[in-house]
């Protein structure tokens, strides 16, 4: 299980592997919504593992 970080102000998802993915934070109404949607999206595409989590902050 790995923990990845999403910075809502910067619009960047920081993966535990060191990679970064740009995210448009204006697509979401809140940081919590962004965290849920990005987690589902990243797991569905295999970007993160099924047991991984994303912590979000703004």
Q: Provide the residue range defining the domain that includes 25.
A: 3-57
pLDDT of residue 31: 96
- Domains of the chain: total: 1
pLDDT single digits (tens) 32-50: 999 999 999 999 999 999 9
pLDDT single digits (tens) 12-36: 999 999 999 999 999 999 999 999 9
pLDDT of residue 56: 96
SS (H, E, C) the chain: CCEEEEECCCCEEECCCCCEEECCHHHCCCHHHHHHHHHHHHHHCCCCCCCCEEEEEC
């Amino acid at each position: 299980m790995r923990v990845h970080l999403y910075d809502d102000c910067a619009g960047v998802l920081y993966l535990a592997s060191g990679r970064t993915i740009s995210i448009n934070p204006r697509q979401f109404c809140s940081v919590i919504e962004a965290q849920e949607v990005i987690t589902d999206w990243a797991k569905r595409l295999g970007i993160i593992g099924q047991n991984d989590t994303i912590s979000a902050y703004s």
